[in-house]
Structure 1
Amino acid sequence: MAKSKKTFSSKPSGSLVPWLGIAALIILIDQLTKITITKLFTYGEEKVITSFFNLVLAYNKGAAFSFLSNESGWQRYFFTAIGIGAALYIVHLLRKHAGQRMFCWALALILGGAVGNVIDRVLYGHVIDFLDFHWRGVGHFPAFNVADSAICIGAALFILDELRRVNK
């Protein structure tokens, strides 16, 4: 009776293609929404949609919550480099862990968002934001975009995946 021989492979159990496809879809949606808003609005123009949500065309030369946006311009290259570096590292992680679904969903969303914002920095020198949530006309949350949303959802999935892994 011959025993079946188990072989171990260093190749991931899943493909990189679906994850890159998700990232590409995020980039496409992000860029299409930004192009649309820049065609329909002028800088600073605001349209009230609901009592808690407006569309507004805003430019962010900094990072999240306009961090470093008032600097002399060096931040554009700094945040572009960080975005490119993060994207390359995320592709490496996706290749290495392609079979881990929630982890890869998180990474694909973060990748799509990071590249979407890098495209803005390279093309325009700033990130285009347009989603403006607020509470009763006061306390506006900083404007953001589809890329930012994907990054936040990806980060939440990443944390959830880590918590799930720790609890096993």
Structure 2
Amino acid sequence: MDFFILENRGAAFGILQNKVVFLSIVTFIVMAGIVYYIIKYKPTSKLLRISLALIISGAIGNLIDRTYYKYVVDFLTLHYKDVYYFPTFNVADVLVVTGTFLLAIYLIKEDK
């Protein structure tokens, strides 16, 4: 793992470059939807509550960056020697991905 500062003016993997306003609006709508769901349905599943909290936390982190800097500050780079480099990301991205993964597990378990 290396630290490398990158100004990400798009979303994951560089998509939607320079669409700061659009990405901010979408992020806000998703966060509002999650908060609405939590308030209305008051989920009791610990796994569901944790997954939603992680997603909201990561979204807030990236939204703060987009609002303040007009880009997201990515700074973590994973690589295997000089053979493979994973795209640069930040802690907020880890929270969103982890939360989404846990949400998928919850949905699969609930479907059974």
**TM-score, normalisation: structure 2:** 0.94
Amino acid at match of 1:112: S
Aligned to 1:131: 76
Greater percentage in helix: 2
Q: Which residue of 2 aligns with 1:23?
A: none
Aligned pair partner of 2:8 in 47, 60, 80: 60
Letter in 2 for 1:86: V
Match of 1:165 in 2: 110
Tell me if 1:117 matches 2:89.
no
- C-alpha displacement at 1:94, in angstroms? 1.6
- Aligned-partner Cα distance in 1 for 2:77–2:58: 18
Q: Which has the larger radius of gyration?
A: 1
Amino acid at match of 1:131: L
The share of aligned pairs that are identical, in percent, is: 32
Matched positions, count: 111
Q: Distance in 1 between matches of 2:86 and 2:101?
A: 19
User: How much does 1:98 deviate?
Assistant: 3.2
What whole-Å deviation, never above 9, does each CA across 1:15-35 have from its counterpart, x for those lacking one? xxxxxxxxxxxxxxxxxxxxx
Higher RCO structure (Cα 8 Å, ≥6 apart): 2
In structure 2, list runs of 5 or more residues that go unmatched.
none
The CA RMSD measured in Å over matched residues stands at 1.0
**What are the ranges of 5 or more consecutive residues in structure 1 without an aligned counterpart?**
1-52
| Larger fraction in strand | 2
CA shift digits 1:50-104 (9 cap, x unpaired): xxx10111110000111122xxx3x000000011111111111122233221111
Per-residue deviation, 1:166: 1.3
1:80 aligns to what? 24
Q: Which runs of 4+ in 1 moved over 3 A?
A: none
Using the size of structure 1 for normalisation, the TM-score is 0.64
Question: Which runs of structure 2 are paired with 1:146-165 in the superposition (5 Å)?
Answer: 146-165=91-110
